[in-house]
Structure 1
């Protein structure tokens, strides 16, 4: 799934939480946190690719052609550089560590981030299932 999709999903989650709960946080801060977390978790793809290939070619591709970051994300990684299972596993590990750390500091924020990341992972799973069905 692409960043623009994760951004939209994260914004919808933030909007719903802002409307349906009473929070010490203003709506714009929840929106910002959701966007950063909901899109930012995908930076782990670069780490997964580096671990699998031993190199940083995807980052080099982005630096050579920054256009692909916004307009052609399918060109960032070569086939097999990340992989569905590795990508989803790294998301689960990061989400668990992040939510666990936040729970110690602020339970509401931890639950909010968990919700954003839940929908990120759900969207990835649905996308991958549809993508496999098309193959």
Structure 2
């Protein structure tokens, strides 16, 4: 799933939380945190690709041509560089550590970040299943 989709989903989660609950934080801070966490978790794709391939070409590609980060995310990674299971596992590990650390100092924020990451992972899973079934339909 692309960053623009995760951004919209994350902002929708923040808006719902701000509108439906009493929070110790201003609504605009929830929007910022949701956008940063909901999109930022995907930076782990670079780490996963580097570990999977043994090189860091994806990062170099983005530095050489920053427009692809915003306009053509499909060009960042080569086929198979990241992998569905490793990408999702990385999200769960990083998200779990982040939520656990936040829980010790800001329980509401920890729960909020966990909710944003839940919807990020759910969206990734739905996207992956939909794309997998599209590929299967084409091969039948």
Give the drift of 1:128: 0.1
Matches of 2:102 and 2:11, distance apart in 1: 20
The corresponding residue for 2:83 is 83
Distance 1:61 1:128 in 2: 24
Is 1:109 the equivalent of 2:109?
yes
Shift of 1:134: 1.0
Q: In the aligned structure 2, how far is the partner of 1:27 from the partner of 1:9?
A: 16
Matched, 1:72 2:60: no
Question: Which whole-Å CA distance do the structure 2 matches of 1:114 and 1:74 have between them?
Answer: 27
Q: Which runs of 5+ in 1 are unaligned?
A: none
What is the SS of the residue equivalent to 2:78? coil
Q: Distance in 2 between matches of 1:106 and 1:65?
A: 38
Across the aligned residues of Structure 1 and Structure 2, the Cα RMSD in angstroms comes to 0.5
User: What pairs with 1:26-65 in structure 2 (closer than 5 Å)?
Assistant: 26-65=26-65
The C-alpha deviation readout for 1:87-135, integer Å capped at 9, x for no partner, is 0000000111100111101110000000000000000000000010111
Q: Equivalent residues in 2 for 1:115-130 (5 A)?
A: 115-130=115-130
Which residue does 1:7 correspond to in 2? 7
Q: Which runs of 4+ in 1 moved over 2 A?
A: none
Alignment TM-score, normalising by the size of structure 1 = 0.99
**TM-score for both structures, normalised by structure 2:** 0.95
Distance of 1:23 and 1:123 partners within structure 2: 25
5+ residue gaps, structure 2, are: 136-140
Q: How many residues align?
A: 135
User: 1:24 matched to which residue of 2?
Assistant: 24
Whole-angstrom CA distance in 2 between matches of 1:107 and 1:66: 36
